């Protein structure tokens, strides 16, 4: 059974890094409850959830996606763009070592996992405030022997590439065209997100299941009409920290 690696919410979550959002109070207890609901949803759609070591001193520690990128053949431990987040990779490396051969992004490169979209053998990486060109060069060298091709694209209007585009199914992406151009993904049908839900692209899919935020009813309806079994969860507290659904897990399939 595929595994979802997660980490507990830090009591310091209110001091998280922010780039595009204004800081709002975060209810820690509610965030913990919402994260538990998220983990339960991951189990429902077929993942075995394993929590890695807590990092209570690291405000953004729950957002494990940014610390690693997993392929069937290997895993890449990132070097997050925010300096305060770099210690998060140590415990992720310890957890992933039992499942994959590890490779590491090294200075001066910076890379957040949320900027990496894997579509078969094509890998698109967002050039954002958190991810730079040197990271794309290193990443490409690591995965090239396994037949992957890496392309870098500019991301300026949102935090990460996967804030602007989400994988739905073979040949189908959900995209915010105000933040990223559909021309970047030739060969894919790119459907535009409802204009009232700019963050609705960040969803999760497995088999016939779709995981979506409760604040995106238009996206939920769109997925249901396509025949998916949709689970909606409230992630409102972690959303204040610029988090989407994919941010809180590293999937090892």
Active-site pick, 16, 190, 212, 247: 247
Alpha helices of 112-194 — where are they, by DSSP H?
Answer: 133-143, 161-164
**Which letter does DSSP use for residue 98 in this model?**
T
Structure tokens at 64: 């494990």
- Asked if 247 is an active-site residue, the reply is yes
HSE at residue 143, side-chain half, CA atoms within 13 A, is: 28
* Sign of the C-alpha dihedral computed for residues 144, 148, 154 and 159 taken in this order: negative
Question: Closest by alpha carbon to 32, among 250, 232, 251, 248?
Answer: 248
Place of tokens 């009813």: 217
- Asked if 218 is an active-site residue, the reply is no
Structure tokens at 249: 């897990």
* Alpha-carbon separation of residue 188 from 122, 198, 241 (angstroms): 12, 20, 30
Structure tokens at 160: 């990460």
Residue 162 burial (CB count, 10 A): 25
Residue 121 burial (CB count, 10 A): 11
Active-site pick, 160, 190, 212, 216: 160
Q: How many helices (H) and strands (E) does the chain have?
A: 6, 15
Using an 8 Å Cβ cutoff, are 107 and 79 in contact? yes
* Enzyme catalytic residues: 160, 247
């Amino acid at each position: 059974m595929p595994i979802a690696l997660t980490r507990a919410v830090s009591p310091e979550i209110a001091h998280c890094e922010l780039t595009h959002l204004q800081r709002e109070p975060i209810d820690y207890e509610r965030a913990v409850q919402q994260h538990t609901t998220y983990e339960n949803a991951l189990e429902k759609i077929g993942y075995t959830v394993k929590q890695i070591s807590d990092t209570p001193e690291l405000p953004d520690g729950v957002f494990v996606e940014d610390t690693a990128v997993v392929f069937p053949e290997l895993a890449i431990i990132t070097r997050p763009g925010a300096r305060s987040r770099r210690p998060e990779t140590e415990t992720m490396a310890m957890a992933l070592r039992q499942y994959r051969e590890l490779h590491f992004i090294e200075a001066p490169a910076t890379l957040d996992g949320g900027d990496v979209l894997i579509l078969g053998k094509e890998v698109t990486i967002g050039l954002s405030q958190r991810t730079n060109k040197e990271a794309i060069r290193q990443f490409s060298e690591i995965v090239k022997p396994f037949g992957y091709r890496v392309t870098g694209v500019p991301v300026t209007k949102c935090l990460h590439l996967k804030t602007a585009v989400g994988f739905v199914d073979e040949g189908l992406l959900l995209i915010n065209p105000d933040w990223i151009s559909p021309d970047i993904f030739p060969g894919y049908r790119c459907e535009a997100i409802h204009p009232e839900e700019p963050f609705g692209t960040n969803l999760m899919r497995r088999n016939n299941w779709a995981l979506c935020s409760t604040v995106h009813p238009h996206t939920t309806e769109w997925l249901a009409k396509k025949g998916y079994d949709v689970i909606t969860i409230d992630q409102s507290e972690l959303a204040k920290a610029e988090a989407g659904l994919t941010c809180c897990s590293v999937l090892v399939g």
